[in-house]
Structure 1
Amino acid sequence: MVKKPSSDTLYLQRIGARWYARIPVPYALREEMGPYFRKALGTTDLQEARHRRWDVLAIARAEFERRTAKASGNKTGRLAPRSTDYAAFRARLAAVGPPKVVNALDGEEMDNPALEAIADELEAAEERGEHVETGWNALSDHVKDRLPVSELLDDYLAKNPKANPTTTANYRGTVSLWIGERKDRPLNGVTKKQATEWLEKVSEGRSRETIKRYVNHMAALWAWAHRKEEAPPANPFEGLRQSMGVIGKAPESYEAFAEAELKAVFGVLKDQPDLKALALISLYSGMRLSECLRAQREEIEGIDCYVLAAGKTVNAKRIVPVHPCSKA
């Protein structure tokens, strides 16, 4: 939860011998009003200034509400109700800016006054008995720079691009399954129990290799979310596949085509020379059909070869000599 700063000089500024109230202006009003609302307190005594500042604070907040209501066309003079939906609240926080901003007067970094205003709004709603836990959670995540998992995935893939589009699509599929069960929240704070329950739900009917991929993807994203921490907690996804035993279907093994099956395949392809050539390349090189389509034909040291420059794994990168029977 974000707490308001506590200080004997909160909202106070001394200029010369005299004290002034200095109230941060919400971000949306700063262009119109400047970064601070200031008013002379008419005293040189600190104790008296501490007492008078609260009257100025009330005046400032009323002015902020009046200007905000005027800008939004709200005739009642009250701030419009805010959504308690986490995603909507995060979107609102993104619109008011980052947790730290630069003070236009002195060029120094300071807390974003707009976020302080939102914290005040949440406190007021809490005092009225409204349920604001979602708002506090969203504000805390925003201040701590905790990205929703969808944004975390975009950041991870942008800085760790995958050579194979299928791998990228698999990551997005895994995150979609996570959001479907756990919503689009940050991964920070996810427990082993929550991770296990999610995996049990999404594993039904899946192969063990697919389940392993789910775990690996989420473990990588969790590690990315905590990469800046000096001592991150234990990754709840690591070892999760092993801890669940033999859940999932065993991988299927494929046997070689029988002679009759090969004749049937090439019989179907006899009037499709392009596909027949592709099938021959796959048959005599051992490459998957997708690899046959990506491979480059090159001559290396006098030998005609197919070159695969990239793939899902390091071993997928290889050079395959062209078999005489598959030459076209």
Structure 2
Amino acid sequence: MSDGQAGSQTDVRLDDDPGLRPEREAVVGAAGRPRRRQRGERLMVPEAEFRSYYGKAVINEPTWKAHDIAGYLFLGGLAGASSTLAAAGELTGRPHLARACKTGALCALGGSLYALIHDLGRPGRFLHMLRVFKVISPMSMGTWILSGYGPQAGVAAATAVTGWFPRLGRAATVGAGLTGTLVATYTAALISDTAVPAWHDGYREMPFLFAGSAAASAGGLGMLAAPVGEAGPARRAALAGAAAEFAATKLMEHRLGPVAEPLKHGLGGRLLRVGQALSLAGAVTGMTAGRRSRAAAAAGGAALLAGAISTRFGIFQAGMSSSRDPRYTVEPQRARLARAETEGAVT
């Protein structure tokens, strides 16, 4: 037997001959999964690293359209937060601010429902969801929240415009303001309940981000439509909302690690950066020049609304991008398994 033939046979030995090259040792796991190596074992080949079949996505990309779902996220947040701001204006004696936010909330709610129904395909599907009341389902709870909020927002706006039934209108305004907080934030739970990595893994910060963005947009509407003398609550809501949105985004990016890459890069990242810049600029403008100048207040309000739109579309695009790349699905799962193995070995 020639030297080459002898070498080809000894290269595949599985004993503990110290003459074997370490990179050739084979360690086999049960059921196709890597097992924990025993003390003294040496790997002759690197452990297999699953990426996905030819780099294809592991999960199905959502079939949602940006103009429907991202528009629904923005308009729903604007409607809910505007109703809350309208209640604040009503209770503090700011009639112009209250009326502007009530009518703005109703218009935003109408646009939000149109976008949702357009995505569902036909109106009957929205009504069909009312046949179920499931506390653990964000979609079911969101349907009931909208059903309770919509009539109150409609009555509040109608009485504000016509001047009829002021007591009924005041009660509806307060009720819509309380329910509006849920309308502004339940969509965060809705998208976090999906398998989309950037949304699912950001479940902790997403409600705060959505609440901040909604408050900033409602503050922008109030600054745009109400007189400067009545827009104090709107300016404060805008500043608090922009700060909360910025802080929640940074915390989420830091905590998610590699999964946060779509939130920083690509179309989603660009839209989020633009949204943050516009929101902060609008809030600062409102708190400075917007206190005295009607034109500055309107400019700040427009910037806040544009910033909220950019933020919601940025979140949507970042999520869609993360669903296309298998790294954002596989690598976090492998990291969790590795942590579980380490913790099991320690205990």
Where on the TM-score scale, by shorter chain, does this alignment land: which range?
A: under 0.3
Q: Which has the higher strand share?
A: 1
Q: Which has the higher helix share?
A: 2
Which protein is bigger by CA-based radius of gyration? 1
Query: What's the TM-score, normalizing by structure 2?
Result: 0.23
